[in-house]
Amino acid sequence: MLHRLAPFWISLVLILSACATVTGPPVSEKERYQAKVAILTYKWRDYLRCQRRVGDVLYRLLLAIDDGRKEYPYLGVKTINLARLTPEEKEALSQVEGASLPDEGYLVTYASPYYRKTGLKPPAVISPQASRLRLSRGPLKIQLIDGQELDIRPQMIRTRPADFKVVDSEEINAWATPEYVIYVTTALCRLLPEDDQLAAVVGHELAHLKRGHIAKRQGLVTLRDLFGLVLGSLGGATAHDIYQVGTNFALLKFSRDQEREADFFGLYYAYKAGFNLEKAAETWLYLGAVLPRTDQPSLLLTHPVTEERLARIRKIVALIKQGKSFEDFIHSEQ
């Protein structure tokens, strides 16, 4: 009987051994803490490097746009509330900044070139009693934790300012929201080694905002849903389904056209800001090499396929350098 159970017990021991959580020599809590700090130090350094790159690129793009209407105050500053950090996060951030950080206050992690010249730059810490930084046309009175007081006149720009946020994510992505915020992931920053390439992506999302694409699409989706409800109540389920299919195809076409327009104006903004367009065009080579492929027909895609898009980007670069307009680009496509 026992010899029959032997294979079972051997298998059980092997399974339990494979599930063991401890491998190698034991690790103390102090060693585990130090390892966690080392990992967080790398992540903070990666995050802040991306934050500075995105912030400086967006800053240059915004300065290159002139709406010709009025001036807007621009606050290109990012802070972190130190009171909300764990001990490991604060120690890692201290190592990145090369300075011991207090328990409270607002650490300046990014400031645009304009504000860096005023003395408001990393790793300055704003007093925890200071009021939150807000956009204003009047002077900004900022109390630093070391007792220094800054009286800064806000920078004025000729276009509505867009904000930005960096997302710590392994997903290669960037997007814009109706709140006029551009999001960029750390994975995208790592993929694109040069700011000229990053400018193509940030410029593309900025173009979606400046050309009103997000607001227009939201309006169309709302109208589609309202008419769909009315048609469903009058014509039944079949009529509603046919309507939904038709309007969804129309929205896909609308989205693809918006992407082409954002490609043009995003590169146009980059060109006006002094970025290298040939290097900016390389962005789609990087994206085409790493993004998942699809066999869907382009009719079903909200974004143009990579080969089509890369070819179009190269055409756009040539047209912009020749001084051509978006209308010239549209005519060349017909």
- Whether 73 and 155 have beta carbons less than 8 Å apart is answered as yes
Residue with tokens 């551009």: 182
- The answer to the question of residue 74 being in a domain is yes
Rounded CA-CA distance 114/127 in Å is 21
For residues 191 and 321, state if they share a domain: yes
What is the pLDDT at residue 271? 97
For residues 82 and 109, state if they share a domain: yes
For residues 114 and 181, state if they share a domain: no
- The answer to the question of residue 16 being in a domain is no
For residues 192 and 310, state if they share a domain: yes
For residues 212 and 102, state if they share a domain: no
pLDDT above 90 covers what percent of the chain? 56
- 16 in helix, strand or coil? helix
Q: What is the pLDDT of residues 127-155, one digit of tens each?
A: 998 767 776 777 888 999 998 999 999 99
- The answer to the question of residue 202 being in a domain is yes
For residues 169 and 152, state if they share a domain: no
- The answer to the question of residue 104 being in a domain is yes
Q: Which residue, of 160, 188, 214, is where some domain finishes?
A: 160
For residues 124 and 271, state if they share a domain: no
Q: What is the pLDDT of residues 307-324, one digit of tens each?
A: 778 888 999 999 999 999
For residues 152 and 173, state if they share a domain: no
Q: Which residue, of 160, 177, 195, is where some domain finishes?
A: 160
For residues 150 and 75, state if they share a domain: yes
For residues 254 and 212, state if they share a domain: yes
Say how many domains are in the chain.
2
- The answer to the question of residue 184 being in a domain is yes
Q: Phi and psi dihedrals of 77, rounded to 5? A: -135, 140
Q: Which residue, of 114, 134, 160, is where some domain finishes?
A: 160
Q: What is the pLDDT of residues 27-68, one digit of tens each?
A: 899 999 999 999 999 999 999 999 999 999 999 999 999 988
- Domain limits at 138? 34-160
Beta bridge partners of 74: 155
For residues 170 and 272, state if they share a domain: yes
Residue 124 has pLDDT above 90, yes or no: yes
- The answer to the question of residue 295 being in a domain is yes
For residues 110 and 186, state if they share a domain: no
Rounded CA-CA distance 298/257 in Å is 12
Rounded CA-CA distance 155/137 in Å is 9
Taking all residues of the chain, what is their mean pLDDT, rounded to a whole number? 81
Query: How many other β-carbons are positioned within 10 Å of the β-carbon of residue 138?
Result: 8
